[in-house]
C-alpha cells in the first residue's frame, strides 16, 4: 500500500511527554489549542508525499492528560489534481502522563485514524506507545503499529533540546531555540506496505531546528528540517535521498 499520506512530530511529542512532571497539584481544566502550519513540502517518515506548499491546520482539546485532536493536510499546489483540497485528515486520541513513582519517566499511549478524502487511498489505523526521560536531550522512543491496512510497525528514537531565550526580536519578545533529531526504523511489513521493499531496517534520519516566539498570544514557530533516507532499498524506492523542508507554524491556546 503506497500511502499518499506528518504524524505527530516525534521530537515535539517526546518533549511534551518529558515535561509532564507537575510542580504541585493543580485544578484540572480543559485546554484547547488550534494550529495552522505552512510547509514547503509534506514529508511523512521520509516519504515526500507533496513536493510543494501545503497548509496543515489542527485542533486539540486536553483534560487530565487525555487529548483528542484532529489534523489535516490541504494541498496548495496547482501541480496536482488536489489543489485546494484536503487529502488527509487524522484523528488522534492520546493519553500522556508521568510513570507513577518515577517522575523523570513519561509515557504516552494512543490511537490514530488516518483518513484520505478526495483520493482513492483506503484509511487505516495505528496504535502507538512511547517512553521518554525528563533529562538533558529528552531521549524518547515511540512505536507505531498499524492494525488495519498495513499491519506493520514503525519505531522512532529521538532527542531534543530547547532554550527559552536566545535573542529578542522586539522588547519583551524573546525567541527560543528548539533542536531535535530522530531516526526511524520500519518492520518488513511496514516497508512492504509503504515502500514496496523487502526486509526491515533503518528508514530515515530527521534533523530539525525551530525558532519559536509569541506575539499577541499567538505562538509563531519558523522551522527547517533535513531528512535523509538511510536504507538502500528505501532510497531505491524513492526519487529523493535528501529532503529539505521549511515552514512556519501558528498556535493559539485557550
pLDDT at 1 over 50: no
* Phi, psi torsion values for 148, nearest 5 degrees: -125, -95
Q: How far is CA 208 from CA 144, 163, 223, in A?
A: 21, 14, 7
pTM tops 0.85? yes
Cell of 168: 529578542
pLDDT-derived band at 19, boundaries 50, 70, 90: very low
In order of their start, the domains of the chain are 10-253 (2.40.160.40)
The residues, any chain, with a CB within 8 Å of residue 210's CB and separated by 6 or more, are 177, 178, 179, 221, 222, 223, 224
pLDDT at 7 over 60: no
pLDDT-derived band at 239, boundaries 50, 70, 90: confident
Per-residue pLDDT reduced to its tens digit, 117-176:
999 999 999 999 999 999 999 999 999 999 999 999 999 999 999 999 999 999 999 999
pLDDT-derived band at 35, boundaries 50, 70, 90: very high
Per-residue pLDDT reduced to its tens digit, 48-63:
999 999 999 999 999 9
Look at residue 180 in the predicted model and tell me its pLDDT.
Answer: 97
Helix, strand, or coil (residue 233): helix
Query: Which range among 77-81, 83-87, 138-142 shows the weakest confidence by mean pLDDT?
Result: 77-81
Reported as type and span, the H/E element at residue 12 is helix 10-18
Strands 218-229 and 173-186: unpaired
Helices (H), the chain: 10-18, 188-195, 232-237
pLDDT at 20 over 70: no
Cα 56 to Cα 9: distance, rounded to the nearest angstrom: 13
DSSP state letter for 236: H
Give the rounded percent of residues in the chain with a pLDDT score beyond 90.
85
* Residue of 128, 129, 131, 127 lying closest to 99 (CA atoms): 131
224 within 8 A of 251, measured Cβ to Cβ: no
User: What phi-psi label fits residue 174: left (phi over 0), alpha (psi between -120 and 50 degrees) or beta?
Assistant: beta
pLDDT at 10 over 80: no
Look at residue 128 in the predicted model and tell me its pLDDT.
Answer: 98
Cα 223 to Cα 16: distance, rounded to the nearest angstrom: 18
pLDDT at 36 over 60: yes
Cα 98 to Cα 238: distance, rounded to the nearest angstrom: 39
* Residue of 144, 236, 224 lying closest to 184 (CA atoms): 144
Residues in the chain: 254
* Phi, psi torsion values for 15, nearest 5 degrees: -60, -40
Per-residue pLDDT reduced to its tens digit, 164-218:
999 999 999 999 999 999 999 999 999 999 999 989 999 999 999 999 999 999 9
Average pLDDT, the chain: 91
pLDDT-derived band at 26, boundaries 50, 70, 90: low
Amino acid at each position: 500500500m503506497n500511502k499518499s499520506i506528518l504524524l505527530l512530530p516525534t521530537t515535539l511529542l517526546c518533549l511534551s511527554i518529558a515535561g509532564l512532571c507537575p510542580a504541585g497539584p493543580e485544578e484540572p481544566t480543559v485546554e484547547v489549542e488550534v494550529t495552522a502550519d505552512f510547509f514547503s513540502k509534506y514529508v511523512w517518515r521520509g516519504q515526500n508525499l507533496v513536493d510543494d506548499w501545503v497548509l496543515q491546520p489542527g485542533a486539540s482539546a486536553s483534560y487530565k492528560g487525555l487529548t483528542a485532536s484532529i489534523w489535516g493536510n490541504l494541498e496548495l499546489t496547482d501541480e496536482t489534481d488536489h489543489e485546494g483540497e484536503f487529502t488527509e485528515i487524522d484523528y488522534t486520541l492520546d493519553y500522556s502522563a508521568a510513570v507513577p513513582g518515577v517522575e523523570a519517566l513519561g509515557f504516552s499511549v494512543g490511537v490514530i485514524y488516518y483518513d484520505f478524502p478526495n483520493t482513492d487511498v483506503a484509511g487505516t489505523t495505528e496504535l502507538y506507545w512511547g517512553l521518554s526521560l525528563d533529562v538533558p536531550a529528552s531521549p524518547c522512543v515511540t512505536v507505531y503499529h498499524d492494525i488495519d491496512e498495513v499491519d506493520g510497525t514503525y519505531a522512532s528514537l529521538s532527542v531534543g533540546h530547547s532554550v527559552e531565550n536566545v535573542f529578542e526580536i522586539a522588547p519583551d519578545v524573546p525567541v527560543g531555540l528548539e533542536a531535535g533529531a530522530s531516526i526511524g526504523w520500519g518492520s518488513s511489513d511496514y516497508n512492504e506496505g509503504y515502500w514496496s521493499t523487502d526486509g526491515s531496517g533503518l528508514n530515515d534520519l530527521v534533523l530539525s531546528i525551530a525558532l519559536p516566539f509569541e506575539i499577541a498570544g499567538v505562538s509563531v514557530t519558523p522551522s527547517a528540517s533535513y531528512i535523509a533516507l538511510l536504507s538502500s532499498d528505501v532510497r531505491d524506492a524513492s526519487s529523493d535521498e535528501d529532503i529539505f523542508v521549511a515552514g512556519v507554524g501558528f498556535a493559539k491556546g485557550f
